[in-house]
Amino acid sequence: MKKAVTILFVLVFMCGGFMQAQVVKSISLNSGMVWSTQKFDYKDINYDLPNEYLTGFHIGFAVEFLQHEYFSILTEIGYTQKGFKLEVDITTPDFPEGGLGTMEIKYSYKYTYLSPMFKVRKEFRGFIPYVFIGPRLDYLLEYPTDEFSEESAKYFNDFIFGMTYGLGLEYMFGSFGVGLIFQNQYDFTLAYHHELEEGYDSGVDIKNNAFILDLGVKFYFGKE
């Protein structure tokens, strides 16, 4: 515990020094909605799962570095919900073929992530449009346990490598800024990978894709 407090104190001291040295340009808190889906690639059957976008929640904390007029570096950590929803027929033992209507099933996954990004901005009388892009590393916090057994859960990847890119529009007044941010979190690696093997109906690869719309609040260091 004492060691942890000491490390925290050193980090806070270092951050204070960086801010005084104008290395840190701003900090921001962004929160909003996620629209996500998953792409299923089955190994031995030609089937396109008719899933739909699932609405979830996103929150991120970002630090912006470099006191440059047009360019900066963002580092964001955050939490996001991803997955998909699926409309299926209601069946019973008496009506195995359905005909009783439909129900909606939601498959929700929870991730935390770290994303360093390159940002390009241009200020117009307080309004600041910008674009950003960079790599991203996700860590799986929770998967839908009601839909996956412990046996099949071992095929989830805990870490996922992807890319974040998007654009935003900010209005700055004094030391503060507010704005809207739209981004796409695209994955390069799979969320789930199960090879075709005996005893299973099909092998399958699953990949995430998510679109995020945030409202952000920012504080600038050295502004008045």
CATH number of domain containing 191: 2.40.160.20
List, for residues 133-170, the tens digit of each pLDDT value. Answer: 999 999 999 877 665 555 566 788 899 999 999 999 99
C-alpha angle 52/142/146, rounded to 5°?
65
Residue 184: exposure state from Cβ atoms within 10 A (0-12, 13-18, ≥19)? middle
pLDDT band at 13 (very low <50, low <70, confident <90, very high): very low
| pLDDT score, position 153 | 66
Please, which residues have CB within 8 angstroms of residue 130's CB and are 6 or more apart in sequence? Answer: 119, 120, 121, 122, 167, 168, 169, 170
Q: Structure pTM?
A: 0.79
| pLDDT score, position 198 | 61
pLDDT band at 184 (very low <50, low <70, confident <90, very high): very high
Q: How far apart are CA 214 and CA 223, in angstroms?
A: 24
Q: How far apart are CA 126 and CA 93, in angstroms?
A: 64
Please, which residues have CB within 8 angstroms of residue 222's CB and are 6 or more apart in sequence? Answer: 22, 67
Task: Give whole-number Cα distances, 118 to 60, 70, 73, 127, 188, in Å.
Answer: 16, 11, 5, 19, 19
Task: Give whole-number Cα distances, 218 to 58, 170, 188, in Å.
Answer: 17, 9, 30
| pLDDT score, position 142 | 86
Whole domain around residue 132: which residue ranges?
2-220
Calculate what percentage of the chain has a pLDDT beyond 70: 73
| pLDDT score, position 186 | 94
DSSP H or E run through 212? strand 204-220
If one counts the domains in the chain, the total is 1
pLDDT at residue 18 greater than cutoff 80: no
pLDDT at residue 51 greater than cutoff 90: no
